[in-house]
Each structure stands twice: as C-alpha cells, then as structure tokens.
Amino acid sequence: MTASEIRTQARKSLTGKWGKAALATLIFGVINYIIGFVLGLVPVVGSIVASIISLPLSFGFTVVVMTKIKRGEDFTYLEFFSNGFNNFVKVWQATLWILVKIILPLVIAIVAAIIMVVGFSMSAAGNGFGIVLGIIGLIGYIAGLIWTAVKSYLYKLSLYIMNDNPDMSAKEAVEKSAELMNGHRWSYFWLQLSFIGWIILGALVCGIGMFWVLPYMQVATVAFYDELAGNKETKVEEPEENNPISE
C-alpha cells in the first residue's frame, strides 16, 4: 500500500477511538514523565534506572496498546505496565541485537567524530594539516550517521514481530524484521515523512494536538507492519480526508 492508503487504514482503525487513543497517550506520557522525574532525583543511578525501564514501558504502549487499537481489541489504560515488564528481558535482548547489527557504522561515526574534533583543534592551533583532517573526519562522521540510520531501518519492526510471535527469540525477531524491511526502507521513511505536516499542526497548539497525532502515527506503523507481514487486513479505498483527527 502507498503511504496515503496506510494513513487511510490507520484512520479507519481509529474511527470512534480517537479520544481513547489520545487519553491513553496522555496517561502514558504523564506516568513516564513522573517515573523519570522521581528517579532522576537520585544522582546517576536514578537516571540509569529510568533509562533501563523506559524502553520496556514504551514497548508496552507503542507496540502492544497501539496494535490493539489498530486491530480493534480491548485494552486498559495502564496495561502497558504489565506488557512492558512481562517482556522486560526480551525487549532489551532485541535492542542489544539491533545494536550488534549496526555496531560497524556506529563505530565508524564515533571514530570519525573524534578525528574531526582533533583535526579542527589542530587547525585552530595553527596546524595546516588539521583542517584537512577535520574535513575528512566530518565527511566520515556524516557518512557513518547516514549508514547507521539506513541500516537501523531494517530492524524497525523487531518489537512488533516479537509481540505477534511470543515464542520467537529476540534474535529471530530482529532477523525477521530485516527480512521484511529489505526493499521497503524507503517506503517506511516516506510514511514517517508524510506526517510532518500533522506534527507541525499538532505542535502549534501548545503540543496538545500531539496526543492525537502520535496515536495516528503509531497505528499507521502497525498498518505498515501488518501489510509487510501479510496479516489479514481489510483494504479500504475511500479517499483521504483533509482532517483525519475529526473522523
């Protein structure tokens, strides 16, 4: 499906549930903020713990809750806690496997950044070779970041696959994501880019509109995943409306 068709399907899934999706997003955001704020009061350790638990909680919300909204299943506003912590280890295993997969371009970007800083520092100290070294480092840094981003897109569906296949290992889910996304990374990038206007619109009203825009984006991602995974879906042909939030 095209990005427009995927957005149409997302809005179809959200029909009659926009308010519930927005409230779920608000509750998750507030609770996640409170957890981060409270733990952040404990120097160093608190921030580390907050970072460790935020990823499983995000899995519990964006993957499980949004998947249920997309597929018309019932959910409770706080079930992202149980969803997240029940999959705590597996979520982090998948994350670490993804890190392993993108480690080479990531290391190249880091090394190039160091070379860039050293080169420009040498240039500032009057060393003529420093500017050449700095430019080489800058080019390598940009190339490393682009390579990292492009490669990471292969694994964007890992957690969705893991959610649908609880018997599948984290490594298998990561590899399955790469298989599904191969040849479809541009389509996913374009889908994300197509929400730029909605993000700007949602941010203009003091960010309040984002409580509707974020579920719209997340449910669209589930629709994209369902399409690639071949999950049974009813295709819709009606044209895209100008104001999906009002549907």
DSSP-derived secondary structure for 205-233: TTTTTHHHHHHHHHHHHHHHHHHHHT---
Examine the pLDDT at 238 and tell me if it is beyond 70. no
| pLDDT attached to residue 232 | 61
Question: 193: which residues sit within 8 A by CB, 6+ positions away?
Answer: none
**DSSP-assigned states of every residue in 53-66:** HHHHHHIIIIIIIH
| pLDDT attached to residue 143 | 95
Return the DSSP state at 155. Answer: G
Say how far apart CA 241 and CA 237 lie, in whole Å: 12
- pLDDT tens-digit map of 191-205: 999 999 989 988 887
- pLDDT tens-digit map of 157-193: 999 999 899 899 999 999 999 999 999 999 999 999 9
What are the extents of the domains in the chain? 13-86+183-236
In the chain, % of residues over pLDDT 70: 94
Q: Provide the whole-model pTM.
A: 0.82
In the chain, % of residues over pLDDT 90: 50
Say how far apart CA 226 and CA 240 lie, in whole Å: 20
Angle at CA 52, nearest 5°, toward 51 and 57? 90
Examine the pLDDT at 39 and tell me if it is beyond 80. yes
